[in-house]
């Protein structure tokens, strides 16, 4: 039997002072993605009609490679933050939540590094 008052039970269970920081990171990455999407969308519309060499030349140009690398980094980080919030909200078993978040961060990090490697390989090796 628990004789503690509701206030006593709630103490220590309040804000961890991390939620606002995470919320701001999510908003900043979403704002950073807006101009990158306006750069990438027209290019993706035009690229299906290009052959392999044209696509490689397009990615290898300095501005396009910088924007592509920026898009990869920001998009994967934004997706990781969003999925982490979903996991924190909807997985209620603590060890499963931590395991899921760790696994998700490892997968997203691997995919981001693979994408960065592929882009840099195109830029430097053609």
> Tens of pLDDT along 55-82?
999 999 999 999 999 999 999 999 999 9
pLDDT of 117 > 60? The answer is yes
Note the pLDDT of residue 9.
63
Note the pLDDT of residue 91.
93
**Residue 7 forms part of a structural domain:** no
**Residue 91 forms part of a structural domain:** yes
**Residue 60 forms part of a structural domain:** yes
pLDDT of 13 > 80? The answer is no
**Residue 12 forms part of a structural domain:** no
The angle subtended at Cα 54 by Cα 70 and Cα 59, nearest 5°, is 15
**Residue 3 forms part of a structural domain:** no
- Give residue 49's pLDDT band: very low, low, confident or very high (50, 70, 90): confident
Total domains in the chain come to 1
What's 45's domain CATH number? Answer: 1.20.1300.10
**Residue 14 forms part of a structural domain:** no
Q: Is 48 exposed, middle or buried (0-12, 13-18, 19+ CB in 10 A)?
A: exposed
């Amino acid at each position: 039997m628990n004789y503690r008052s509701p206030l006593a039970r709630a103490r220590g269970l309040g804000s961890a002072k991390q939620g606002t920081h995470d919320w701001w990171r999510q908003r900043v990455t979403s704002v950073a993605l807006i101009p990158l999407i306006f750069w990438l969308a027209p290019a993706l519309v035009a690229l299906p009609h290009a052959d392999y060499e044209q696509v490689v030349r397009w990615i290898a140009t300095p501005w396009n490679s910088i924007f592509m690398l920026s898009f990869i980094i920001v998009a994967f980080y934004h997706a990781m933050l969003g999925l982490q919030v979903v996991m924190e909200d909807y997985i209620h078993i603590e060890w499963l939540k931590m395991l899921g978040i760790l696994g998700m961060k490892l997968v997203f990090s691997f995919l981001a590094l693979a994408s960065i490697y592929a882009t840099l390989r195109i830029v430097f090796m053609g």
